[in-house]
Structure 1
Amino acid sequence: MLHSKTLNWALAIVCCLICCGCSLPQVTAESRIFLNLDLEFVGDYALPQTSFEGTTVGGLSALTYDQRRDLIYALSDDRQQPRFYTLALNISEADQIEEITVETVTVLQDEQEQSVAPKVLDPEGIVLTPQDQLWISSEGVQTQSPPILAAFDLAQGSWQEQLKLPSHFLPALATDELETSEPPAPQGIADNRGFEALAISPEGDRIFTATELPLIQDVNPDDSDPKFYSRLLHYLVGDVRPLLISEYLYPLEPPTLGTGLNGLTELTTLDSGGHFLSLERSFSPLSGFNAKVFQIATGGATDTSSLEKLELPLQGVNPVFKQPLLNLRDLGMTLSNLEGMVSGPILSDGSRSLLLVSDNGFEAEQPTQFLLFRLKKKPQQSTSG
């Protein structure tokens, strides 16, 4: 009898809450997939193109943050002399970038401990491991060198090791067995459209890289409504023999007349559970450069490492999940060619920062643009009864 009264009271309270319109948190499938994150613009900084120790400080395509030393390593995508710069950021108590200072420049070396020869690397991505090792991704140079994922020493820039890439990322090689044999179908990474994005796990034992645009064989030229997918690779690295763990498809934003083609230029890990931020960049003669930041989640995505060519439209293959976070055009400012993105220093309120950088293409009159953001929690949504 007492149990029945208690149950009746509980039901009455629930009904009362509903009738009174009390707000309860809204739980959606999307909220279970993604982290509760938002981006707040903090400020920007323009670094004029200058010279440093006989090099031109420009063409910055990627950033990685050294938390122990509170320094930024910025990769220059100069095919003639691949290198990275050590930058010091002076951030005020008001979380504004007051100054960015170039401290050192390090030229990358090959396996013979010589400066990497011109047009061997087209460096686009950089991450730092706890062992002071820099992993660098190169798009490759068409007909001259394949795409590369290689590790270099932080102190000297010396070559240390290289990852093996799946064959479907590489150009098809013609055979000399038969003079009458047809040339192989084009495949692999397109020139200047390769490994732009590179990220590392918080523990430093896994790296992730993705192509800017689809592989050549993953595009159907006859499709009237094409869907474009980059490929995202997941490697185990560190104190073990490097191993390819998985591969996923990343759905690119569809091109429009006003924005042009969208390319994936950077990834940044948010945690060890498969959550990332991604940066897509576009250019149109009508509207200039634009960029968008997304949150993506790999949980539930299909491993596509066995698919040498995509059969489109996709059937039975789940790409990574993707959620728009910020359209940078909404900032109301002129955007440059934004390519790099990294989680940077902790801000004054204890929140994580996010730093974006532009590639000025070594144009003397075009400064390098830095944009600083605060990563924060989204306001919690609620529903009323």
Structure 2
Amino acid sequence: MKRITGTFIVFAVIFTVISCRNNNEVKKTKGDLKLRFVDEYVLSDTTTFANTRVGGLSGIDYANSNWYAISDDSESPRFYSAKLSYNLNGFDSIAITSVTHLKDKNGNLFSKGTIDPESIRFDSGFFIYTSEGNIKNEIKPFVRISNSSGVYVKEFDLTNRFLPNSNPNLGPRHNGVFEGITLSYNKKGYWVAMELPLKEDGKEPTIEETDSPVRIAFINKTGHFEKEIVYDLDRVARPASNGAIFELNGIVEILEYDTNKFFVLERSYSMGYQDGGNTVKIYDVDASNATDVSNINSLKEANYTKATKKLIFNFDDIREELTNGIVDNIEGITFGPNFKNGNRSLVVVADNNFSLYGPQLNQFILFEILK
């Protein structure tokens, strides 16, 4: 475990936060948000629980005094329950308390390679989670609901544009589908975010400026896709280095804090860097005036209004305060409980990819939202 405390503060004109029952419920008043970096906690890469290796933590949620984190292990997709103990001075401990294996429609464990779970949210005793599928192998992405035992309850019908397509110019990109999900602020449904643009909508981000619009879709509780809004991705933050060529940038998680207003985690990755190659940012996104593009088949040269975005936090600003200067593969974000002074906490988590591509971190980062 590495534990560090800090006092980094950023400002953005949005809101102050008070305690609410679910992690997406945020009360707001006009003013400057002040986000203070509190601490980092690294859960050992060798941590095991109930014969599973704890890693691949791609999404995190907090509800009813419990924490939940989904693991994107394609051989054994699961989510963990955990206890995170912390205060204004930092983390005391993180303890895994249970593991729940997700089941397919037939009540069986998923076959290897049939699911790529990325995000999870708790909603009234059930869990809503996403899978990117495997576009190259024509395995469909999905948004599903399970009960507390991981048993399948329901799957939402996807609009055709989100399904694998034999036309090389249409459909989602491999590893670029449903990376993030959030409960809607009004509790009437869910917002699900693509990581990358659909092929018919725009280019993948590059180191140069590109038009890279991604769709964020609203799904009501009946499972109907009601509307879609557009979020414009940044360019890749830095070029790949040391002979590597792989670069990408995309949405990795969303969190609606008010009607049509979101925190969006955007992550740029470039190979060849000792610091992990990740540039991660949190944006405040306002979709109040964004066009519903659900009836627009291609965003290229289409006339529409995008959601607006304002940078709240750049993790590069605390890089030197983190383990080995690494901002790891951050993919999850959630509000936590209030601190004793009444200010709300915010936690992000990194997916360590089970260190398949070199040493990575089960990295938790804690912030205080100041009034």
Give TM-score scaled by structure 1 length. 0.79
For the pair 1:120 / 2:114, whether they are aligned, the reply is yes
Higher mean C-alpha deviation, range 164-173 or range 81-90: 164-173
Paired position in structure 1 for 2:49: 52
Give the gaps of 5 or more residues in structure 1.
Answer: 1-27, 29-33, 174-183, 378-385
Q: How does 1:151-166 map to 2 (within 5 A)?
A: 151-154=145-148, 156-166=149-159
Aligned pairs, number: 325
Change (3 A) 1:89 1:267: same
Query: Are the counterparts in 1 of residues 43 and 362 from structure 2 also a CA contact under 8 Å?
Result: yes
SS in 2 for 1:216: coil
For the pair 1:369 / 2:363, whether they are aligned, the reply is yes
SS in 2 for 1:199: strand
Q: Alpha-carbon deviation of 1:219?
A: 2.5
Q: In structure 1, which of residues 300, 304, 320 is the aligned counterpart of residue 293 of structure 2?
A: 304
For the pair 1:38 / 2:34, whether they are aligned, the reply is yes
SS in 2 for 1:168: helix
Q: Distance in 1 between matches of 2:203 and 2:269?
A: 22
Q: Alpha-carbon deviation of 1:167?
A: 1.0
Query: Are the counterparts in 2 of residues 298 and 321 from structure 1 also a CA contact under 8 Å?
Result: yes
Query: Are the counterparts in 1 of residues 178 and 192 from structure 2 also a CA contact under 8 Å?
Result: yes
Partner amino acid, structure 2, of 1:310: L
Partner amino acid, structure 2, of 1:292: K
Q: Alpha-carbon deviation of 1:350?
A: 1.1
> CA deviation digits over 1:311-368, x for unaligned, max 9?
23xx531111100001110113321111111111211221221110001110285330
Q: In structure 2, which of residues 283, 291, 297 is the aligned counterpart of residue 294 of structure 1?
A: 283
Paired position in structure 2 for 1:82: 77
Q: Alpha-carbon deviation of 1:235?
A: 1.2
Paired position in structure 1 for 2:180: 197
Runs of 4 or more consecutive aligned structure 1 residues displaced over 4 Å after TM superposition: none
Query: Are the counterparts in 2 of residues 294 and 322 from structure 1 also a CA contact under 8 Å?
Result: yes
For the pair 1:150 / 2:131, whether they are aligned, the reply is no
Query: Are the counterparts in 2 of residues 169 and 187 from structure 1 also a CA contact under 8 Å?
Result: no
Q: Distance in 2 between matches of 1:65 and 1:366?
A: 24
Partner amino acid, structure 2, of 1:270: Y
For the pair 1:275 / 2:261, whether they are aligned, the reply is yes
Query: Are the counterparts in 2 of residues 95 and 348 from structure 1 also a CA contact under 8 Å?
Result: no
Q: Alpha-carbon deviation of 1:105?
A: 0.5
SS in 1 for 2:332: strand
Partner amino acid, structure 2, of 1:91: Y
Q: In structure 2, which of residues 308, 322, 326 is the aligned counterpart of residue 321 of structure 1?
A: 308
Query: Are the counterparts in 1 of residues 69 and 79 from structure 2 also a CA contact under 8 Å?
Result: yes
> CA deviation digits over 1:102-125, x for unaligned, max 9?
000000011211112211110001
Q: Distance in 1 between matches of 2:349 and 2:209?
A: 33
SS in 2 for 1:329: helix
Q: Distance in 2 between matches of 1:36 and 1:278?
A: 18
Q: Distance in 2 between matches of 1:43 and 1:257?
A: 26
Q: Distance in 1 between matches of 2:55 and 2:203?
A: 36
Percent identity for Structure 1 against Structure 2 = 30
Q: How does 1:176-325 map to 2 (within 5 A)?
A: 184-220=167-203, 225-237=209-221, 241-258=222-239, 260-271=247-258, 273-284=259-270, 285-286=272-273, 288-312=277-301, 315-325=302-312
Q: Distance in 2 between matches of 1:376 and 1:308?
A: 42
Change (3 A) 1:220 1:275: closer
Query: Are the counterparts in 2 of residues 339 and 358 from structure 1 also a CA contact under 8 Å?
Result: yes
Partner amino acid, structure 1, of 2:262: F
Give the gaps of 5 or more residues in structure 2.
Answer: 1-12, 14-29, 241-246
Query: Are the counterparts in 2 of residues 120 and 140 from structure 1 also a CA contact under 8 Å?
Result: yes
Change (3 A) 1:35 1:231: farther
SS in 2 for 1:146: coil
Q: Distance in 2 between matches of 1:230 and 1:148?
A: 17
Q: Distance in 1 between matches of 2:343 and 2:203?
A: 44
SS in 1 for 2:214: strand
> CA deviation digits over 1:12-61, x for unaligned, max 9?
xxxxxxxxxxxxxxxx9xxxxx9743322111111012111111100000
Give TM-score scaled by structure 2 length. 0.82
Partner amino acid, structure 2, of 1:356: V
> CA deviation digits over 1:167-217, x for unaligned, max 9?
1111225xxxxxxxxxx3432221111111111124533211111111122
